[in-house]
Chains A and B, each alone.
Chain A
């Protein structure tokens, strides 16, 4: 076994040398595969559910579950472009939702701002420990995940925290869709038409070289961690609008859902120049169709997780940029 693997190595190295041969390095493959993947999954479940999943009522339901994940993923997308990770999103969403619920009885704009500020504060904590204390981002954010998950549980020990009753009036398709599109447009613009967008990709592709090209890597990381917090704080508003209250499990597993969605969308786990904006859109849609579809064909939660896990591993293996995999920060 080991002999065979070793014999393969030189050939592989040669391929990396003039890697135009490697299929996954072709830009077209990276651009098209997520779209094809989405289409395949959609068709598959359309068949498996006997067309139920593409009925208007189900599509509407699917869409209503997508907004929050879409927005939160957009923030993590920026973090992951730099080759960093963020596991604190779920607990961040939980804590921000609690703040929004508290403040919603005073004023809705105040509640939104409060939620975003809470996200920003948690993002700043992530940024501080990652940038200033130089701790790898996945360790920092796993720590903050537990910390704020704990806080979330503490604040909701006695009873769920309820938002003001009439917050449901914002739970309409036009409002949520508009807000989601606005957030995505802002991210799209920042990613494609600003220096910051180019800097993010460069940092993901090579942090040291970026520093030597004059990019203020530390400052950029701070900004992005805080921005991701703000965006998730905003996603928390969409969450509260939909459910009206927060329990101790508010936002549970969101970080994993984001990670799976982005990777399904073709985002290389080490970030860098191969990242595409469309990774967010197709990733989230594919994930949602997949999880809803698995649910609709009547699989148990355990089986669903098993299948999602298998798909996740396959996609990671497919989209990893092996040349820079060792540099996940």
Chain B
């Protein structure tokens, strides 16, 4: 079957000045499983979000079955036969399982303006049974189920109507083996019906095994489309990263001893439903990695160290015994925190670059409680330039910057504060490779200055490449610990996190 079902034509998407998808054209055939790979931030999720109507397209178009696809949201995409299983949680809490499955398609069960809940539940349960999910009840509120079960429900939601094109966006990393098998089975059956699956995953061996062809994106540009049976994982890696980046990206030193001096100790820290009894010590000049699945509690742990976790129990103490129980205590005692949620927590986006950089250093910048704007401007300029933020001037609002530049502003703030302990949660999330390299270089420099860093990340390679020691978390507890070692592989790591 070589007939084309879907074609992307010269698609472009900008986020601010960041060219996230750059003139991408791909042809998808009927009855194939088409892999889409690339590093984080390479534009694959963005491209698929445009296909599914989640983001508007800046220029270019998708052609489905010979006709241009004009959709404005996910429900319309579904009606046109395009369906997506998203990376993040795609179900709405507070609704029942049945309501989630038929979200946006409730009309089917409406007669004379009245919804027939009974019929909807019956239909939903029938589907769940067909998918082998008998233990899930259609009438239960979705919050009752864990992350994996909710993902399985999403699979039902995305496939029950036999879509012509199904997008599976990094779904497998969050599923157990049996969940994955279930998903593969549905992908296979969709393919056998003559429909198409677009499969996004970071697990290259899985991609090669499950797909017919693979398209590789790098920095928003389509690099190549290859036949899956002709390529090896190494070939794909080379296409994804590009040669020139391999040499200088992560740290290259191994076996350098780390100081024994403890700067921060975390003892028996628990947060209800998030973290369960976690203890560790952070040493001077150490980069300590914390990894795991997104829901493993590591992000909350970062907040707990910064005194920003409201329901924390247990101790977070500095070397001199100070208990870090609030954000102001943490900042006063030289702890910095860059949140994963850049736009809501890291930065006041509707404020100027100047104010964002200066906010935490106001006490140092004021004399006798008087703050002079000139002094703030000088200070902000100095640190924004130090990390080379691309900007018009320091009065520009942070909201107008690209993701990478926003992150630089967040880092500039803490450089200005000269913090000794930095908690960086997903510092390179959604950032292009150049800025990534800058951030890694900055981390190395800070390490050399004797600063300690806790690097929380969902990217395994980044952790392996940058950290002196890595804690792997699973279900809110520390499930494994690795010391820096060139032989450490992703597989060792994944074994502990899933």
Contact = CB atoms under 8 A, between A and B. Distances in A.
A13 B371 CA distance: 36
Contact of B351 (A20, A195, A208, A273): A273
Among A201, A205, A212, A321: residue with most chain B CB under 10 A: A212
Interface stretch (A47-55, A213-221, A234-242, A289-297): A213-221
A302 interface: no
A212 B355 contact: no
Contact of A17 (B14, B330, B337, B395): B14
B27 interface: no
A214 B15 CA distance: 29
Nearest to B352: A273
B16 A213 contact: no
Interface string A249-289: 00000000000000000000000111000000000000000
Interface string A106-149: 00000000000000000000000000000000000000000000
B246 interface: no
A18 B350 contact: no
A321 B348 CA distance: 14
B371 A212 contact: no
B370 interface: yes
Interface in B365-424: 366, 369-373, 392, 395, 397, 399-400, 413
B349 interface: yes
Contact of B337 (A9, A194, A212, A272): A212
Given A19-B399, A206-B349, A198 B355 contact: yes
B344 A209 contact: yes
Interface stretch (B356-364, B441-449, B461-469): B356-364
A174 interface: no
Given A208-B344, A209-B344, A201 B351 contact: yes
Among A13, A201, A321: residue with most chain B CB under 10 A: A201
A212 B351 contact: no
Contacts of B332: 214
B199 to A, nearest CB: 28
B327 interface: yes
Contacts of B15: 17
Contacts of B399: 19, 323
B56 A205 contact: no
A210 B369 CA distance: 19
B331 interface: yes
B58 interface: yes
Interface in A183-214: 192-195, 197-199, 201-202, 205-206, 208-214
A18 B17 contact: yes
Contacts of A195: 362-363, 366, 369, 371
Nearest to A10: B56
A156 interface: no
Nearest to A195: B362
Interface string B312-333: 0000000000000001101110
Given A195-B363, A216-B328, A323-B399, A202 B351 contact: yes
A190 B483 CA distance: 52
B175 interface: no
Contacts of A192: 373
Nearest to B73: A6
A209 B347 contact: yes
Contacts of A212: 306, 308, 327, 337, 339, 345-346
Contacts of B358: 198
B267 interface: no
Contacts of B186: none
A66 interface: no
A208 B16 contact: no
Given A18-B400, A27-B395, A323-B399, A213 B372 contact: no
Contacts of A198: 355, 358-359, 362, 371
Interface residues of B, number: 45
A193 B368 CA distance: 11
A210 B348 contact: yes
A324 interface: yes
Given A27-B395, A208-B345, A212-B308, A321 B56 contact: no
B30 to A, nearest CB: 30
B369 A194 contact: yes
Contacts of B429: none
B328 A206 contact: no
A14 interface: yes
B162 interface: no
B72 interface: yes
Contacts of A6: 72
B372 A193 contact: yes
A253 B14 CA distance: 48
Nearest to B16: A17
B64 to A, nearest CB: 19
Among A13, A19, A273, A324: residue with most chain B CB under 10 A: A273
A13 B56 contact: yes
A262 B256 CA distance: 61
A215 B373 CA distance: 19
Contact of B348 (A9, A20, A206): A206
Contacts of B400: 17-20
Contacts of B328: 214, 216
A282 B339 CA distance: 40
A184 B89 CA distance: 50
B351 A205 contact: yes
A214 B360 CA distance: 6
A323 B344 CA distance: 13
A14 B14 CA distance: 8
B363 to A, nearest CB: 7
Q: Which 4 pairs across A and B sit closest by C-beta, in order of nearness?
A: A10-B56, A214-B331, A206-B348, A273-B351
Given A212-B339, A213-B356, 16 more contacts: A9-B56, A17-B15, A19-B397, A20-B392, A192-B373, A195-B362, A197-B371, A198-B355, A198-B359, A206-B348, A210-B348, A210-B359, A214-B327, A214-B360, A323-B349, A323-B399
Interface of A: 6, 9-10, 13-14, 17-20, 27, 192-195, 197-199, 201-202, 205-206, 208-216, 272-274, 321, 323-324
22 contacts: A13-B56, A14-B14, A19-B399, A195-B363, A198-B355, A198-B358, A202-B351, A202-B355, A202-B359, A206-B350, A206-B351, A209-B345, A210-B359, A212-B327, A212-B346, A214-B330, A214-B331, A214-B332, A216-B328, A272-B351, A323-B350, A324-B350
Interface of B: 14-17, 56-58, 72, 306, 308, 327-328, 330-332, 337, 339, 344-352, 355-356, 358-360, 362-363, 366, 369-373, 392, 395, 397, 399-400, 413
